[in-house]
Amino acid sequence: MEHRTATLAEADRLMTVCNSCRYCEGLCAVFPAMEMRRSFADADLNYLANLCHNCSACYHDCQFAPPHEFAVNVPKVLAEVRNDSYAHYAWPAALQPMFRRNGLWIGLICATLVALFLFGTFLWNGAGAVFSAQTTPENFYALMPHNVMVALFGPAFLFAILAIYMGGRAFWRDISARDMEDGAHQSGIDYARAGHDAGRLTYLDGGGDGCMNADEQTSDNRKLWHHLTFYGFLLCFASTSTGTLYHYLLGREAPYPWWDLPVVLGTVGGVGLVVGTAGLLRAKLRQYHDVRDDTRFGMDAAFIAMLFGTGLTGLLLLFLRETPLMGILLAVHLGVVMTLFLTAPYGKFVHGIYRYLALARFARERRGEMVPQDA
Amino acid sequence: MPLNQIERNGPWDLLVAGGGNAALCAAIAARRAGRSVLIVEAAPKFYRGGNTRHTRNMRCAHDHATDTLTGPYTEEEFLDDLLRVTGGNTDEALSRHMIAESKSMLDWIQEQGVRFQPSLGGTLSLGRTNSFFLGGGRSMLNSLYATAERLGVEVVYDAEVVALDIEGRTFRAATVRHDGADIRVEAAAFVAACGGFEANIEWLKEGWGEKADNFLIRGTPYNRGTVTRMLIDAGMQQIGDPTQCHAVAIDARAPKFDGGIITRLDCVVFGVVMNRDCERFYDEGEDIWPKRYAIWGRLIANQPGQIAYVVFDAPNIKRFMPSLFPPVEAPTLRELAEKLELDPRKFEATVTEFNDAVVGGFPFDHTEPDGNRTEGLPVGKSNWAQKIETPPYYAYPVRPGITFTYLGVKIDQQARILMNDGNGTPSDNMFAAGEIMAGNVLGQGYAAGIGMTIGAVFGRIAGQEAARHGA
């Protein structure tokens, strides 16, 4: 079969080997999904790749892994396909090259935006106001009025949503184009199942024992770190949303006391983000070398760094909001958050979207396959 | 760890030659009984474990369904199956003992870290009788090695036993070649668990003659039978003959060694099988899987050039498990024959003759004998006969693929190797487990998962008995 890239051709070769063996079918979702196919088009491979968590259990279990002449390294090749797929489906197409040297791009954008916020804050308010705003009743809003924040972040947020939606839609259309001949249709239960599997990271456990690390010992830490990061992120998002509702619905303006919902959610979420991302980075560095896609380390690291930065600057802002550092921290925090929003469609953030969609497709395929067996 | 560093701790209570399922079960059992254990594995670390790397399930008797087994499989039923596949060519008392021991093996092996999964997909027919390893045989091995090393078993890779020092009935020491040096390793007991000799083509030739040059070896290239030969030469009793082995039809394009499961083809039933002279030579519809699977290796070994061709047409391509290599494909039978470098005229004539003889007209059903057969052919097809008439046409070239061999050493119920002294006196401190003594149980034939049962059960017995000996 013709493939768009050499990596996809290699993935096809591996899936043909694996489909003749099937010993790994109990480990995760990739292999049962593979077994429902006898040939692997680019869309199939992108789908399978986005089901893979790179836990590397199948690599350690494989009798055909290197140095065997069949050289089967599924986690590494699927990582490459997966990372390529983020760029392939990104919208608009003109921004797809951002996935090349992704770490550099995101680093530059972040530095630029932080500088702009700092520069703007000083220019707008003057240095004296920046270092004394913590004493005013308006606090943050003395430096940047709420409406200005909304005017800056609202469009950035909406653009990110649009771009992520367009990318996700292209991925979804591609992977669901195949006719499975089983008569099943995508339904609500599949999306619910996918939510369950994505939320619990059902398949990120090496078949039960956790991921293999550099020392070939299994551990479940990646799952823990990812949970802390993901749910920390959600709590931070909930904190911001609650704050927005307070502002517009209740007329209660920031800053809020330490016991109030936006602060509690933000604090717990921020701690989750900082601890979780630090753990993820450590796990990434300790991961078994042979199964990593080292060419994309920058993309992974940039996303982890942005989440870590969001959590850390947010927490610092909370704890130091009554000191003269507040003004500078606010500008840095806003610059980091703006970068997170703007670059979300062009970095590792999209992995969650594609993973969820792939799981939704898998839930429907598995349900469809089970129909004739139950009958 | 290099052997020369470990050796200073010797002499050992137990030396285990080999590194697969049987070797690890022996080592773990002895270590759990408090003995010092050294494993010498001839293969490098990646290739450790011999044919265990290529396995995926184990057949154990059990009285009840479990999380991973769909129903009970009694000792009586297991024995019936064993007697049937071997045609009674087994040491029945030993087999009964093994089957009884297999019951507790299910729990024991899981206590050593091995994980099971329910049978899925293409293996549902074994879901009641066989326990499938999560992640397959190499995953199982990884678990056993992790447990053994945690318990303090020492393991050396790239360490081949090249000589045995045996005095009468007693093992004294082995010479182990490692890292360019020959090192003498003394031990109070010795377990030979180092597989068969299928990678030793010269030995296969003693049974098969020059035909063996055309055999493909499905598993490890490290099973050369050196220890088996040394034991027999030192006066141990041989069991089995060099022609007995598990041999199936595999893709002729497979590598000479270690192609494993992915080169097997189970499409014989869907078409006809011809030799290189374009002649059919055996009833392709005699029996259903898995029996039909296990006879074709021998059948093809006895054809000219040890090669044959499975030929079928378009409707059948999706009816069997995919395999590594794509089938040879052509729009006409003539072109297919040309691609296979066979005589197109004879090829077409054989297919036409077969098509003209097909009778029955029942719905095709490959899961049970369907009554569609041929009439009037010298070599008939007694089930699943369908005309080969819908292009494109497909063919797979197939050769005998040797899975494992049965010639080995004779043992008793304590897994002690017996002397070749006319009385079958047990040796003093030498034990055997796994493929090296499989011929005690399997005089011929095979049923899925029995190899691993033999390895695990006799491995555990050997380890326990060796530990008692060293006490």
CA–CA–CA angle B237, B239, B240 (5° rounding) = 155
Residue of B nearest to A206 (CA): B135
Q: Count of residues for chain A?
A: 375
Whether residues A68 and A99 fall in one domain:
no
Q: Which chain A residues touch B142 with a CB distance below 8 Å?
A: 60-61
Residue of A nearest to B254 (CA): A70
Residue of B nearest to A1 (CA): B326
For every one of its 471 residues, what pLDDT tens digit does chain B have, with 9 covering 90 and above? 667 766 556 789 999 999 999 999 999 999 999 999 999 999 999 999 999 999 999 999 999 999 999 999 999 999 999 999 899 999 999 999 999 999 999 999 999 999 999 887 666 678 999 999 999 999 999 999 999 999 999 999 999 999 999 999 999 999 999 999 999 999 999 999 999 999 999 999 999 999 999 999 999 999 999 999 999 999 999 999 888 888 999 999 999 999 999 998 988 999 999 999 999 999 999 876 656 667 899 999 999 999 999 999 999 998 888 899 999 999 999 999 999 999 999 999 999 999 999 998 899 988 888 999 999 999 999 999 999 999 999 999 999 999 999 999 999 999 999 999 999 999 999 999 999 999 999 988 888 899 999 999 999 999 999 999 865
The reported pLDDT for the residue numbered A374 is 35
Assign residue B347 the CATH number of its domain. 3.90.700.10
Query: Which pair of tokens denotes residue B253?
Result: 């394009």
According to DSSP, the residues that pair with B216 across neighbouring strands are: B401
Domain housing A20: 6-89
CA distances from A101 to A86, A97, B168 (A): 13, 8, 71
CA distances from A185 to A268, A362, B107, B363 (A): 40, 12, 42, 30
- Please tell me the number of Cα atoms within 13 Å of A5 on its side-chain side: 17
Alpha-carbon gap: A220 to the closest alpha carbon of chain B (Å): 16
Tell me the angle at which helices B137-151 and B21-32 cross, rounded to the nearest 10 degrees: 20
Whether residues B430 and B387 fall in one domain:
no
- Under DSSP, is residue B25 helix (H, G, I), strand (E, B) or coil? helix
In angstroms, rounded to a whole number, what is the distance separating the alpha carbons of residues A3 and A173? 18
Alpha-carbon gap: B139 to the closest alpha carbon of chain A (Å): 5
Whether residues B413 and B396 fall in one domain:
no
Q: Does A207 touch chain B (CB under 8 A)?
A: yes
Q: How confident is the model at residue A372 (pLDDT cuts 50, 70, 90)?
A: very low
The residue among A217, A281, A212 whose CA lies nearest residue A65 is A212
Q: Does A36 touch chain B (CB under 8 A)?
A: no
Residue A190, amino acid: D
Of the three residues A89, A117, A150, the one that is the final residue of a domain is A89
Whether residues A149 and A30 fall in one domain:
no
The reported pLDDT for the residue numbered B360 is 87
User: Which of A20, A35, A67 has its CB closest to that of B323?
Assistant: A20
User: Which of B118, B136, B321 has its CB closest to that of A24?
Assistant: B136
> What's the pTM value of the predicted model, to 2 decimals?
0.94
Of the three residues B378, B401, B424, the one that is the final residue of a domain is B401
Q: What is the pLDDT of residues A159-182, one digit of tens each?
A: 999 999 999 999 999 999 887 777
Mark yes or no for CB contact B261/A20 under 8 Å: yes
Q: Does B2 touch chain A (CB under 8 A)?
A: no
Q: Are B312 and B271 in contact (CB under 8 A)?
A: yes
Assign residue B88 the CATH number of its domain. 3.50.50.60
Q: Does A208 touch chain B (CB under 8 A)?
A: yes
| Residue-by-residue DSSP string for B312-351 | EEGGGTTSS---SSPPEEESSHHHHHHHTTS-HHHHHHHH
Helix (H) or strand (E) holding A190: helix A188-200
The reported pLDDT for the residue numbered A1 is 83
Whether residues A246 and A119 fall in one domain:
yes
Residue A305 clears pLDDT 80, i.e. is over it: yes
In angstroms, rounded to a whole number, what is the distance separating the alpha carbons of residues A349 and A157? 14
Domain housing B464: 3-242+406-470
Whether residues B226 and B258 fall in one domain:
no
b/e A155-194 (16+ beta carbons within 10 angstroms → b): ebbeebeebbeebbeebbebbbeeeeeeebebeeebbebb
Alpha-carbon gap: A68 to the closest alpha carbon of chain B (Å): 9
Whether residues A238 and A253 fall in one domain:
yes
b/e B401-437 (16+ beta carbons within 10 angstroms → b): bbbbbbbbbbbbebbbbbbbeeeeebbbbbbbbbbbb
- Under DSSP, is residue A211 helix (H, G, I), strand (E, B) or coil? strand
Whether residues B334 and B378 fall in one domain:
yes
Mark yes or no for CB contact A20/B115 under 8 Å: no
What phi and psi values does residue B142 have, to the nearest 5 degrees? -55, -40
Residue A314 clears pLDDT 80, i.e. is over it: yes
Alpha-carbon gap: A277 to the closest alpha carbon of chain B (Å): 30
- Between A31 and B118, the higher pLDDT residue: A31
In angstroms, rounded to a whole number, what is the distance separating the alpha carbons of residues A82 and A249? 42
Q: What is the pLDDT of residues A42-78, one digit of tens each?
A: 999 999 999 999 999 999 999 999 999 999 999 999 9
In angstroms, rounded to a whole number, what is the distance separating the alpha carbons of residues B298 and B446? 13
In a domain, A371, yes or no: no
Query: Which pair of tokens denotes residue B468?
Result: 């008692």
Query: Using the 8-state DSSP alphabet, how is residue A126 labeled?
Result: -
In angstroms, rounded to a whole number, what is the distance separating the alpha carbons of residues B215 and B399? 7
Mark yes or no for CB contact B115/A58 under 8 Å: no
Whether residues A188 and A53 fall in one domain:
no
Q: What average pLDDT does range A261-279 have in this prediction?
A: 96
Of the three residues B374, B401, B428, the one that is the final residue of a domain is B401
Question: CB pairs under 8 A, 24+ apart, for A368-375?
Answer: A368/A180, A368/A182, A368/A183, A368/A184, A369/A36, A369/A182, A371/A182, A371/A183, A371/A184, A372/A182
Of the three residues B382, B401, B420, the one that is the final residue of a domain is B401
Q: Does B367 touch chain A (CB under 8 A)?
A: no
The average confidence (pLDDT) of chain A is 92
Whether residues A253 and A307 fall in one domain:
yes
Q: What is the CB neighbour count within 10 angstroms for residue A346?
A: 26
In a domain, A344, yes or no: yes
User: Which of B46, B120, B261 has its CB closest to that of A21?
Assistant: B261
Query: Which pair of tokens denotes residue B180?
Result: 């360019």
Residue A179, amino acid: D
Q: Does B138 touch chain A (CB under 8 A)?
A: yes
Whether residues B143 and B169 fall in one domain:
yes
Whether residues A14 and A152 fall in one domain:
no
Whether residues B231 and B256 fall in one domain:
no
User: What's the total number of domains in chain A?
Assistant: 2
In a domain, A373, yes or no: no
> Dihedral (C-alpha) B102, B103, B104, B105: value to the nearest 10 degrees?
40
Q: Which chain A residues touch B54 with a CB distance below 8 Å?
A: 63
- Under DSSP, is residue A273 helix (H, G, I), strand (E, B) or coil? helix
Mark yes or no for CB contact A67/B46 under 8 Å: yes
Q: What is the pLDDT of residues B277-303, one digit of tens each?
A: 999 999 999 876 656 667 899 999 999
Residue of B nearest to A16 (CA): B324
According to DSSP, the residues that pair with B411 across neighbouring strands are: B417
How many CB pairs lie under 8 A apart between chains A and B? Answer: 80
Q: Are B431 and B462 in contact (CB under 8 A)?
A: yes
Q: Are B406 and B442 in contact (CB under 8 A)?
A: yes
A134 dihedral zone (left: phi>0; alpha: psi -120 to 50; beta) = alpha
b/e B23-51 (16+ beta carbons within 10 angstroms → b): bbbbbbbbbbbebbbbbbbbbeeebbbbb
Interface test with B, best of A14, A20, A60, A181 (most B CBs within 10 A): A20
The reported pLDDT for the residue numbered A179 is 76
Residue of A nearest to B150 (CA): A217
In a domain, A268, yes or no: yes
Q: Are A176 and B83 in contact (CB under 8 A)?
A: no
Q: What is the pLDDT of residues A176-185, one digit of tens each?
A: 988 777 778 8
